[in-house]
Structure 1
Amino acid sequence: MLDNAKNRIKKIKHFLAGKLHKNNFHFQMNPQSLSKYWWCQILGWVGYAIMSLFIAYLLGEQDFGPRIVYVIGAVVIGILVTHSFRWVIVKLKMLEMPFEKAMIYFFFGIILATFFISFPLSWLGVLLFARHVTLDSFYDKFTLSYPQIIVFVFLWALIYFTWHYVEKNRNSQLDKLRLESTVRELELKTIKAQMNPHFIFNALNSIRALVDENPQRARSAITELSNILRSSMAADKAEIVSLENELNIVKDYLALETIRFEERLKVVYAVDPETLELPIPPMMLQTLVENAIKHGISKEIYGGEIRIESTINSQQQHVLTIQNTGQIVENKNGNGFGLLSTRQRLGLLFGSRASFEIFNLDDHTVEAKVIMPLY
């Protein structure tokens, strides 16, 4: 029975928390925020009491008994009225109003709150300090206390208003950052989910071409593909991988393609050992190499060469270059899915600090160049 009751309480708390968050009141009803509110209330009015007693002392007041009663009354009335003012603010959702409209409500609220503090406080002052309880003596006390109280209430409202607007703005910024982070993560996952099937289909086409022609080599190709899929599944769990890990996938892929192209495919590596641990988007290098084979080597009668180069330039940037035999004809193969995904992932991961371009280096060579920050 006790466990069931606890579970029901938890469910109610979650439900209320959701409702409050939905209505943008989570910052007002949060226990931590409420605690800060009451600390400010108590310290503020206690400060008012101390200031009032100190001024009375400077003015030479001898009998502090009535003064202490008056100050205690002012603190109690002030807390009750300002807390009621806060209840009205929450009830009318004044913090959700446009700024100009909220200021009008706050202005009239300050006037009314000051009146409801000064009115009973003036009568208390008459009873404690005036020789005769008359309307004139009450009027004198009221006109004396109202300007003083309105300054204090104005400071109270200004602090309350500023605190919650700053808090609301901060929460909005955090929500915006969380949303951007979520969108960024979803975009990366979507790109990866689209990219991996794209690669698998190309690899299966290569294997299919070998099945009838050379079954033994087809079996070897299946083994190579198994290694590539195992590596790509591990890489898919991370937003970035080291160049060394990516190179291992590329070498398996090129080993698979070498079975199909035989002597028509030559591969040259020029990799600076210092770049092996640098981060790059997973499957990016493999995608660019696949693009080089599909649109370059496979279209050449005598095949060609792929050169993979990784260096650090003078601006302390990681430069990854893939050169292949072939030509880009009217940029038809410059905006395919593989190249588009490369641009998207670089933008999502590194922003403007990374760049990608692909162009005809000369009459026989295409170069794809990626420039990324070191960290």
Structure 2
Amino acid sequence: MFKNISRYWWCQIVGWFSYFLINILLPTGATPESFYISLLVFMVLGVLFTHLFRWWVNKLNWQAYPFEKQVMFFFWMVVGSSTLMFVGFFIIIKYVLDVDFGNPFRALLSCYSIMTVWWMIYYLYHYIEATRSEKLDQLTLQATVKELELKTIKAQLNPHFIFNALNSIRALVDENPQRARTAITELSNILRSSMAAEKAETVSMEKELNIVKDYLALETIRFEERLNVTYDIDPETLGLQVPPMMLQTLVENAIKHGISKTISGGNVHICSRLKGLQHEIMIENTGQFVENVKNGHGFGLESTRQRLSLLFGNRASFEIRNKDEQMVEARVIMPLL
């Protein structure tokens, strides 16, 4: 039964009952019977007029009005409900029940005081609720925008990767058809893994590393002995979450803009380790990093920055630099999830 009572009526019941107890417990000495009768009439009228004026102001949809008009609503609610309550209280006590009314000014002051407090609580409650609802809407909108941005970036990454992979396979078709068939199989494995990864904002480091190994197996067919890959993977990092296709994008960047531009090829070193309460991923490759390159070099790097920012904010970082005259180092640092 009590579950069907709304929050509003619970507040009415608890509020007016508290008012009743305060008036009963505060007076000292003998209390005339007329006091209890007046108090009960006062409370009944208080509930009646607050409820009627609340129904009316909600019917006018007061929350949709500008702040200035809401202040006017508040003023007229206090004046209107207080005045009618006093008039009703005076008529009932004086002419219906024929009880000693007492000091009229004191009764009027009591009506205005209790109604002012009631409407202040009512308005304050709805202001807090509206503010909280607005913040929740903003958070929901931000989460939706973040999700759409992540999906957009991942949707751009797959065609970008497929284009590069197909170029690699095309180079093998005439030269070595058998290796081209093997390369197509490797590409199929990568696409299957990347499509599964698109469904989540993050994947485990182990799954991401498997995609990278498939990709490097594909590139090894093209570069043969010109490509040397080494790993330094802390087993404790394999279960950690990372943005999908992030590691693959950085490795692809190292191959395309580092190894492929060096006649003798070079090395790619992939490192994943714990650094305090952070997960550090590092890719080193032969080559030199050049700022502001407009040939597509910046797409994978920018997508990495965007996804890290969307997922982790300023708790993650990404930098790429020339480690020395022969090696480039890309470093990603993420918080532990």
Same fold (TM over 0.5): yes
Distance, in Å, in 1 between the alignment partners of 2:51 and 2:18 is 17
Aligned partners of 1:125 and 1:141 also within 8 Å: no
- 2:247 aligns with 285
The AA in structure 1 aligned to 2:6 is: S
| Counterpart pick for 1:294 among 245, 252, 256 | 256
Letter in 1 for 2:285: N
Distance 1:224 1:342 in 2: 24
Structure 1's 308 and 56: CA in aligned 2 closer, same or farther, altered over 3 A?
Answer: closer
State the alpha-carbon separation in 1 of the partners of residues 139 and 4 from structure 2: 22
**Selected match of 1:320 from 245, 270, 281:** 281
- In the superposition, relative to structure 1, how do residues 56 and 364 fare at CA in structure 2: closer, same or farther (>3 Å)? closer
SS for the counterpart of 2:290 is coil
| TM-aligned CA deviation for residue 311 of structure 1 | 2.1
Q: Deviations 1:315-335 (Å, cap 9, x if unpaired)?
A: 432221111111123441696
Match 1:107 to one of 75, 89, 92: 75
Q: 2:42 aligns with which of 70, 74, 78?
A: 74
* CA shift digits 1:174-214 (9 cap, x unpaired): 11111111111111111111111111111111111111111
Structure-2 separation of matches of 1:144 and 1:269: 86
> Matched residue of 2:199: which SS?
coil
Distance in 1 (CA, whole Å) between partners of 2:326 and 2:203 is: 32
- 1:163/1:34 CA distance change after superposition, 3 Å: farther
Aligned to 2:304: 342
Distance in 1, matches of 2:19 and 2:107, equals 13
Range moving further from structure 2, 101-110 or 319-328:
101-110
Q: Which amino acid aligns with 1:102?
A: Q
Q: 2:206 aligns with which of 244, 247, 268?
A: 244
Question: 1:232-280: per-residue Cα shift (whole Å, max 9, x none)?
Answer: 1222222111222111111111111111111111111122222222221
CA distance in 2, matches of 1:56, 1:322: 80
- How far has the Cα of 1:86 moved from its partner? 0.8
By how many angstroms is 1:89 displaced? 2.2
Q: Cα 1:357–1:311, aligned 2, differ >3 Å: closer, same or farther?
A: same
**Counterpart in the other structure of 1:10:** none
Q: Conserved in 1, the CA contact under 8 Å of 2:257 and 2:297?
A: no
TM-score, L = length of structure 2: 0.90
Aligned residues: 333
Q: Deviations over 1:303-359 (max 9, x none)?
A: 11111112223x432221111111123441696211111001111111111111111
Which residue in 2 is equivalent to 1:44? 15
Structure 1 stretches lacking a partner, 5+ long? 1-31, 132-137
TM-score with structure 1 length normalisation?
0.82
Q: Is the 8 A contact 1:311 1:318 kept in 2?
A: yes
Shift of 1:160: 0.7
Contact 1:94 1:102 in 2 (8 A): yes
Q: Give the equivalent residue in structure 2 for 1:17.
A: none
Q: What are the ranges of 5 or more consecutive residues in structure 2 without an aligned counterpart?
A: none
Say if 2:204 and 2:242, in contact at 8 Å, map to a contact too.
yes
What amino acid is aligned across from residue 162 of structure 1 in structure 2? L
